[in-house]
Chains A and B, each alone.
Chain A
Amino acid sequence: MSVTGLPSASGLPDLRQVTPVDEVGVNERVARFQTRSIKKESKIEALKMILSMIDLTTLEGQDTPGKVRQLCQKAIHLHDSMPGLPHVAAVCVYPTMVGVARKALGDCDINVASVATAFPSGMSSRKIKLEETRTAVAEGADEIDMVISRGAFLQGDYGFVFDEIAAVKEACGDAHLKVILETGELGTLDLVRRASVLAMHAGADFIKTSTGKIQPAATMPVTFVMLKAIKSFYFETGRMIGMKPAGGISGAKLAVHYLVMLRETLGNAWMTPEWFRFGASSLANDVLMQLQKQATGVYQSADYFSKD
């Protein structure tokens, strides 16, 4: 019995062999992470690390070039009155906004991430998904956030999902591929683990919890199961895979607990924006408020922090 199942000739592992997950045990472990007391310099360090790991996101039907340009400004200038802050890791937008974001970010080293493959439902033909991916990359996307075909996955058509991810990975060229499992639609932690294993074997550089369009989005138990899958994959193949919880992480305290979980599961090698991201829009300002509180001892009103 293997942890992730033995890959077949095509590289598709036997997902029925994936080690089971016990939900009660997972919740218990997660609760322990949340009892960690992070104070003083370790808190400040964590808050800054969180800022540097954020994929600042806007994924609305009502997005406009103006809105995206504002978001990019915020990405570069998080809170200029506070010196020594890092910038976020990336801005995350729809494919039509990639060009705008690329231009707005200029030559600063913030990545442009684009969702693709008929985000958020993934209900389109492979041809169109691949075309959308190529277009986003051509427009300047450094990272592609794809969604898996949940219908096919839940039906047990693992081969279809595997091939699709592999094809999108190829279409990405040099761009990094994040594979969104949409865990809120998978139903059980066993399936979350299976989907993680599938995505990693198919070529994902990152695995990501959610689109943010379905509830529940990212949760600590789901993220923990994915981190465990990443760990097993690393032990088996030597390859590091990144992790991105997205949606529902709006508080600094919760984000710090995610870092605790990351540190105690995968260790310090993963604690950089290269290997861990938060997909979030309102998290940054809460982190900034906490940093301000650490520096001055008092909370400032939300009006002192630019919304976007």
Chain B
Amino acid sequence: MKSQANKLAFNDGWHYAPAPESTDHIRIDEKYDLFIGGEFVAPEEGRYFETINPATEDTLSSVALATETDIDRAVKAARKAYNGPWSKMKASERGKYIFRIARMLQERAREFATIETLDGGKPIRESRDIDIPLAAAHFFYYAGWADKLAYAFPGRNVRAVGVAAQIIPWNFPLLMASWKIAPALACGNTVVLKPAETTPLTAMKLAELIQDAGLPPGVVNIVTGAGETGATMVNHPDVDKIAFTGSTSVGRIIQKSLAGTNKKYTLELGGKAANLIFEDAAIDQAVEGIVNGIFYNQGHVCCAGSRLLVQESVADEVIEKLRERMETLIVGDPMDKNTDIGAINSAEQLETIQSYLKIGQDEGAEMYQSSCDVPRRGYWCRPTIFTGVSQSNRIVQEEIFGPVLAIQTFRTLEEGLTKANNTPYGLSGGVWTDKGAKIFKVTQGIRAGVIWANTFNKFDPTSPFGGYKESGVGREGGLHGLGAYVKMAT
């Protein structure tokens, strides 16, 4: 390809005028208390911490810092609700409450999407078109299961587990809350949920919604705080089940502290997914899939396609097309409806990503970034790819959780599979080929929970999600997701 000589120009001429989503339809309070027992209550020690907009570094609100006493109150409220109305309620009634949450989320979708973007930095297009609709879909899906559990586990007598402590990450705040809360409630459990410290606002909005929905007090409790708060939740003796989504290092600590206890747990941890592109693939659509795989949500996706394995014979072409496609990605104000890539979620995460950019270069890889301008304030990282990397490089082995792609080549299918599997993770993978038989070979050969063929990063409430190896334990979503929230009595 003589593409060096024939560059396309995307930056001059006609451009898109700013199209910002308005904020006059939302309300963010100056501070948020803890949602315990159906009411908003101040934290025992009276401390609060700020949550900021990562695109502007402006403070949005303050949220309560829950400490041990608060967690104890929340767990007690959850236990009371479990022993009281919730576990005795007819399953079809329980389902009605969950359906109501789903409908109210749909009705208030725009408000939730706007706040999600302000607090987390993800493009409004993604909050609006993916996060919020998918969150509502999860509630709808699990609401339907509430009175049909006998069909989910035929021949078995299932009971709720009890009180679930749920800790969720900052990359999909509301969506992760729905992944956790919906199946727990459907199976008759009550919950104490903690959103991540950088993105607590949609969870607090969800608390308001749950209050409006008239759920019995204590069925859902939402507490805010950082790692210490989460540890307190995990170690609380009256919690029956832990559901955690986050980093592998924290997952390891949780698993250690649960050893010897009777608590059930699911851990959804990191990933380093490979996208395998074969020479017979629809190359243009494969390039689009790579972009979607690694730059979606700024790469803050545990199942992101952060490694590209491309067959040697088409490697130059794929890389060239990828570089060129990167030039058309719009990076900037997450509130602009045309933005493709928003802000990095926090200063801390930006630092992590930047340290990996340096590591990659020090390891001898060649770094390429798109030429876009980024705003002066806020946390930003241009879409980045590394070529000339080796399997032993840290940027190939370790999860970066940013818009950074490591590119390797392979010659045979077997070599591709070996490289794809050769990391400590096993959460997801992708295969791009026009040949059906090859798809089956790859999906059977990659040890990962989810493998997409000729597409990437597709989610649906009916589909189970979870990992192998250091990517975690257990499955969420679909029928499998119910299993994590029930006890088999017989």
CA of A228 to CA of B282 in the docked complex: distance in angstroms?
Answer: 12
In the complex, which of the residues A39, A41, A264 contacts B328, with contact meaning CB atoms closer than 8 Å?
A264
Judged by a CB distance under 8 angstroms, whether B151 is at the interface is no
Within 8 Å CB of B337, what residues of A?
35-37
Selecting from B13-21, B43-51, B216-224, B398-406, the interface stretch reads B13-21
**A24 at the binding interface (Cβ < 8 Å):** yes
On whether A234 and B6 interact (CB within 8 A), knowing A22-B282, A28-B288, A37-B338, the answer reads yes
B284 touches A19 (CB 8 A): yes
Residues 1-39 of chain B, each 1 if its beta carbon lies under 8 Å from chain A, else 0: 111011011111111111100000000000000000000
Q: Tell me if B212 counts as interface (CB < 8 A to partner A).
A: no
Report how far A203 CA is from B452 CA in the complex, Å. 40
Does chain A have a CB within 8 A of B147? no
CB of A264 within 8 A of CB of B283, answer no
- Which B residue sits closest to A235, measured CB to CB? B3
Identify the closest chain A residue to B4 (Cβ). A235
Cβ of A46 within 8 Å of any chain B Cβ, yes or no, is: yes
- Are A264 and B10 in contact, CB atoms less than 8 angstroms apart? yes
Say whether A252 faces chain B, with CB atoms less than 8 Å apart.
Answer: no
How many residues on B have C-beta within 8 angstroms of the other chain's C-beta atoms? 39
Whether A269 is near chain B, meaning CB under 8 Å from some CB there, is yes
Do A259 and B14 have beta carbons less than 8 Å apart?
yes
Q: Is A22 touching B8 in the complex (CB atoms < 8 A)? A: no
Question: Quick one: given A42-B14, A267-B8, are A228 and B284 in contact (CB under 8 Å)?
Answer: yes
How far, in whole Å, are A243 and B468 apart by their CA atoms in the complex? 48
Does A21 lie at the interface of the complex (its beta carbon under 8 Å from any beta carbon of B)?
yes
- The reply to whether the CB of A126 lies closer than 8 angstroms to some CB of chain B is no
Partner of B282, one of A25, A37, A45, A259: A25
Is B338 a contact partner of A36 (Cβ separation < 8 A)?
A: yes
Q: Within the complex, which residue of B9, B16, B125 is in contact with A268, where a contact is CB–CB below 8 Å? A: B9
Beta-carbon contact of A21 and B282 below 8 Å: yes
Across the interface, do B15 and A42 meet the contact criterion of CB distance under 8 Å? yes
Give CA–CA (A276, B314) in the complex, Å: 30
Query: Given A37-B19, A42-B17, A268 and B282 touching (CB < 8 A)?
Result: no
A3 touches B6 (CB 8 A): no
- Starting from the known contacts A1-B313, A26-B285, 11 additional A-B residue pairs (CB-CB under 8 Å) come to A3-B317, A28-B288, A28-B455, A35-B129, A36-B337, A38-B19, A39-B18, A40-B17, A268-B9, A268-B12, A271-B14
Tell me the bound Cα distance from A40 to B336 in angstroms.
14
Least CB distance from B434 to A in Å reads 5
With A24-B454, A264-B328 known as contacts, the answer to whether A41 contacts B17 (CB < 8 A) is yes
A238 at the interface (CB under 8 A from B): yes
- A228 and B12 CA atoms in complex are apart in Å by 20
A274 contacts chain B at the CB level, 8 A cutoff: no
- In the complex, residue of chain B having the shortest beta-carbon distance to the beta carbon of A266: B8
